[in-house]
Structure 1
Amino acid sequence: MYLSCNLFIILLAHFVHAEWNTKDFLKREHSLIKPYYGSGLDIPFWQFTGSTIITPNYIRLTDDAPSKRGSIWNLMPLNVRNWELQVHFKVHGNGKLFGDGFAIWYAKEPLIDGPVFGSKDYFQGLAVIVDTYSNHNGPHNHQHPYVSAMVNNGSLSYDHDRDGTHTQVAGCEARFRNFGFDTHLAIRYEKDVLTVSTDMENKAAWKQCFQVTGVRLPTGYHLGISATTGDLSDNHDIISLRLYELDLPDDPQPQEDRSNIIPSAKFFEPPRDHVEDPKPSSLSGIKIFFLMLLGSVAIVACVVLGIMFYQKQQEKSRKRFY
């Protein structure tokens, strides 16, 4: 009887310890799960901007229309050193040509509209960019959609003309548009190792996209996700964001203060020469039309004059024989 009581107490203590160990559980203040709304029309711990629309089943950052920007940002700073963010999303549209894409952020300054997929350029932090633009730019061989990561200390600019290949730390191709099943992406930051994985084949299993070591990120930045369309467009829908704190007892420096370090990465992909795009013509469409018309008239005139000159030569030739 005494042994049974001790065993019961040990099991109860173990259960209570597991229940209160928050590192084993989802961090709800940094997650976005249905139902999205709280007591009113606001989403607890989150704020959205631009063209973002909240529905009962998804959060649409942009609809399938040109020149849209939308974002949603977590208002709570993430004071966690090792974490994993799982993103359930859907990108779909009617066009054969589509764009531009969306970006997942861990950034110092949230809620700032900008040209990098709807958020700020020269940011500080991490951006995982999902570029869907169907006509890729620049001297590279990968196809789109394309997933890449950029670590920025505030001094780098994302180069749209080269699809960000000059500043990315790594990337991979990933097809996911217009699928009839769920698509997922996971960002894992563990002991200064950044791993991005995808689940795009309806197999309920993660497939590693890329892994980069030597990535140093500070604590206290904000999670967010933004999307944009240009001349080409798509629906960019977020179904859920789940943030997990990783419980790593063997982390050699779990108590290190990372609140003030500068974002950095030891590895960047080899730089490519930046070749300027040809400058567009300053002539308007009407001017080009009239120039083409004048050119056509000039060609016809030359042909007519040539025919007349040839006929006169033939007449002179015939007169010499009479």
Structure 2
Amino acid sequence: MIYEKLSAFQFFYITALFNPILAEWNTRDYVRREHSLTKPYQGSGMSVPYWDFLGSTIVTSNYVRLTPDLQSKSGAIWNTSPCHTRNWELQVQFKVHGRSKDLFGDGFVIWYVKDRMQHGPVFGSKDYFNGLAIVLDTYSNHNGAHNHQHPYISAMINNGTLHYDHDRDGTHTQLSGCEAKFRNYNHDTHISIVYKDDTLTVSTDLEGKNAWKECLKVENVLLPTGYFFGASATTGDLSDNHDIIAIKMYELDLLDTQNKDDDRSNIIPSAILFDAPRERVEDTKPAMSGVKTFLSMMALAIVIIVLVVLAIMWYQKRQENSRKRLY
């Protein structure tokens, strides 16, 4: 009896000890399958439940490839179910890779927007969108004043009136951003997007350490319910493979200060704070390479030599004509 009582006590003690840990784990247990994409992808035939595809997107057994490593490709994947959850976390496992080590592009975007399946110029989706864009930009064309290197992750909130300035990498409309080297890794790369209590937090796990590193955090961000998750990518003169491995959407608990009966479906997407705008100064023309400089100097020298020879010939001919007139 003493042993049985002791065992019961030990069980109660162990349960009480580990209950906070289990409770913490359970905060991430509300996986919304209708907003998630995991292996095996395919349902009946080539369809994937809850997801539609656009453009060059292909589905394999190991990944969903938005674009291949080829020029001028564009693809997208869009969730078919609108998200009515107020607090959520979206974890995306992805892989961006290509043959080139130095020249690559353009990048991809993770969306939470009003209009789905819309092709356009912003990494394969529409401009002047309503909602949230998390831009993973790999290509820097160095137009305008920049203070960061690429690849680069940034966040943009749009109410349908803002233009994403691709020539200047969206630096004039972004909320915040961070440099993030996420290309050509052999291990898994992940990004986490958390929207909770009107605060947007973006974190990454790019080093395979199973630990999140905060990229940006912006408070006072308003996003309505009823929008759609998606991802799109594009290539131009430069290219990469843009692969989505998995998408998991977690419903997060409401805070005590949040009223579950609030209707947030008609909220206009907005944010109080943006990164300070920069003047749109066009870059000066890049300096020529050593080979181009050498060839240009050689051509100039040849032109000068030809002009000198012609001048000498003209002078000698004139002198000869002068002597003939004297005789």
> Normalised by the size of structure 2, how large is the TM-score?
0.81
Relative to 1, partners in 2 of residues 1:226 and 1:30: Cα closer, same or farther, differing over 3 Å? same
1:46 partnered with 2:56: no
The 1-side partners of 2:188 and 2:162 are apart by 34
Q: Distance in 1 between matches of 2:143 and 2:137?
A: 11
> Aligned match of 1:172 in 162, 172, 178?
178
Q: Any idea what SS the aligned residue of 1:254 has?
A: coil
Q: Look up the match of 1:161.
A: 167
Contact 1:98–1:134, Cα closer than 8 Å, also in 2: no
**Aligned-partner Cα distance in 2 for 1:94–1:169:** 32
- Helix, strand or coil at the partner of 2:149: coil
Which sits farther off after the overlay, 62-71 or 249-258? 249-258
Indicate how the Cα distance of structure 1 residues 180 and 23 shifts in structure 2: closer, same or farther if over 3 A, else same. closer
Q: Which segments of 5 or more consecutive residues in structure 1 lack a partner in the other structure? A: 5-10, 12-17, 280-293, 316-322
Task: Provide TM-score, normalisation by structure 1.
Answer: 0.82
Question: Tell me, which stretches of 5 or more residues in structure 2 are unaligned?
Answer: 1-7, 9-14, 16-22, 286-298, 321-327
Q: 1:212 & 1:22 partners in 2: Cα distance? A: 22
- Offset of 1:120 from its aligned partner? 0.4
- Residues 118-170 of structure 1 show CA distances to partners (whole Å, capped at 9, x for unaligned) of 00000000000000015443211200000000000000000011100000000
Q: Number of residue pairs matched?
A: 289
Asked if structure 2 preserves the Cα contact closer than 8 Å seen for 1:90 and 1:239, the reply is: yes
Identify the residue that residue 239 of structure 2 maps to in structure 1.
Answer: 233
Cα 1:154–1:310 change in 2 (3 A) is same
Is this contact kept in 2: 1:98–1:234, CA < 8 A? yes
In structure 2, what is the Cα distance between the partners aligned to 1:203 and 1:76? 32
The one-letter amino acid paired with 1:30 is: H
Please tell me the residue identity of whatever aligns with 2:45: G
Shift of 1:306: 3.6
1:202 aligns with 2:208: yes
Which has the larger displacement, 235-244 or 267-276?
267-276
SS at match of 2:34: helix
Counterpart of 1:303, as a letter, is V
1:221 matched residue in structure 2: 227
Alpha-carbon offset, residue 309 of structure 1: 6.3
CA distance in 1, matches of 2:95, 2:220: 31
Change (3 A) 1:23 1:236: closer
Structure 1 residue 299: Cα displacement? 3.9
Amino acid corresponding to residue 189 of structure 2 in structure 1: T
Q: How does 1:1-322 map to 2 (within 5 A)?
A: 24-95=29-100, 96-276=102-282, 299-308=304-313
Q: Which moved more, 1:214-223 or 1:269-278?
A: 269-278
- CA-based RMSD: 3.0
Aligned in 2, Cα 1:192/1:114: closer, same or farther, shift over 3 Å? same
Q: CA deviation at 1:248?
A: 2.8
